[in-house]
Structure formats: C-alpha cells, structure tokens
Amino acid sequence: MYEVRITKHHSGKTYNVDLIAWERNGSGMAVGKAFNVSRKQAENSLGFSEPELIDAAMEEFKKDANRVADLYDAIIEEK
C-alpha cells in the first residue's frame, strides 16, 4: 500500500511531501518528493500518476536493497 504524506516543514511555514510504501508487516519506507514548499505546491508537487509513484518507490527500494546487499555481500532475491 502506498501513501502520500504532507507534513509541516521544520520552519513551521511550509511543507514537505513524502511517498510512503507500507509493507504487510506494518513497516514502511518514506521517499522524500518535495521539501520546504507552500501548501499549494505540496498538493501539486508530485505531478505523477499512481503507477509512476509506484515505480519511483520501487526504484528507491532497489537502490537501498543494492546498498545493503553490497554492504553484507548478500544476494538480492526478488519474489
């Protein structure tokens, strides 16, 4: 399941936008899509269709999987 979350930037005046990919076990991975933008920009910032958002999240997962596999000299198994 995927979720787009808009949160207040630490400045308190602007917003950040994250795409969160949730797994069945309840863990999730956030991918930052916009930072320090107005509310209107935050609501329109992604500019992606849902399939494009899913593809973007999967690319981030693959990058992280490759990094961890290299770190531990492990094999990536896709199911």
pLDDT at 4 over 50: yes
pTM, rounded to two decimals:
0.52
Range of the domain at 37: 2-72
Q: Is residue 78 part of a domain?
A: no
Phi, psi of 75 (to 5 degrees): -100, 135
Q: Is residue 55 part of a domain?
A: yes
The 3-class SS string of 13-69 reads: CCEEEEEEEECCCCCEEEEEEEEEECHHHHHHCCCCCHHHHHHHHHHHHHHHHHHHH
Q: How far apart (Å, rounded) are the C-alpha atoms in residues 8 and 37?
A: 9
Q: How many domains does the chain have?
A: 1
pLDDT at 48 over 70: no
User: pLDDT above 90 covers what percent of the chain?
Assistant: 3
At 11-39, the pLDDT tens digits run 988 888 887 888 889 898 887 777 788 87
Q: Is residue 29 part of a domain?
A: yes
Rounded to the nearest 10°, the torsion over CA 47, 15, 33, 64 is -160
Q: Read off the amino acid at residue 15.
A: Y
Report pLDDT for 79. Answer: 45
